[in-house]
Homo-oligomer: A and B are copies of this chain.
């Protein structure tokens, strides 16, 4: 028997992965959650039919959304992760001894339990004693926070469906207020390639530029995501993403990675001409 899972990248493009077995499927209060097993990508987490992560390449996304700001900010103690119920971002964060508290705001408790069971090598990070999980709406959670975090990581799926509120100007303003005076916010910023996503990417960047004094976009090669060219937003109150990189300090921590290295820090901010033009239009 042949079984294929197809992730729709646009109405006219899809990536299909041969599936060995469907390991789990259920409807939570918020979304349908599936776990599939594949030979090429290992286990695959799917939400409402969209590919969320694969065991083969999740390290790229999670390393890039975490270590880029961590190599810039000189001393992160308190971190907020919005989304991130799979534990991937937290797995990278707990490699830093100086971090003393991580709040994870993941709306869907079923998602966390499914990840604990089916991708334990990622989700077991959530058991770290510094981690506190809140099953709340991120938009509501952030409203009541002021001057509290050094780093906020917005690990939200996409600007449609339940996470929609996490892409509004109000939300980014609340993140700004929740950060300390030298805080950094990083968000997944979609892909610049397909027309519909490029528009989302531009809109997100516009709203962040209107909120933070320092904003730069960086990129990674992420094969399982649409177009494989994925962007992240770096928004900051004080630190510059390139000028304030402290490569030596980061290397001294002895953190093991498979994608990120300070050696490629500047390169990931050097965007292709067509991407620069897309973003400049709203700057």
Contacts and interface: CB of A to CB of B under 8 A. Distances in A.
Interface stretch (A107-115, A125-133, A271-279): A271-279
Interface string A13-56: 11111100000000000000000001111000000000000000
Contacts of A193: 57, 221, 223
Copies in the complex: 2
Contacts of A263: 270
Nearest to A39: B12
Interface in A159-209: 193-194
Interface in A200-233: 219, 221-223, 227-229
A266 interface: yes
A223 B226 CA distance: 8
A124 interface: no
A281 interface: no
A56 to B, nearest CB: 8
A253 interface: no
A256 to B, nearest CB: 9
A43 B99 CA distance: 51
B274 A270 contact: no
Contact of A259 (B13, B57, B221, B274): B274
A14 B228 CA distance: 13
Nearest to A263: B270
B40 A194 contact: yes
A60 interface: yes
A267 interface: yes
A6 interface: yes
Nearest to A15: B15
A57 B198 CA distance: 14
A77 B267 CA distance: 30
A268 interface: yes
Contacts of A6: 16
Closest 10 CB pairs of A and B: A228-B228, A267-B267, A267-B270, A264-B270, A221-B229, A12-B18, A223-B227, A12-B40, A259-B272, A258-B274
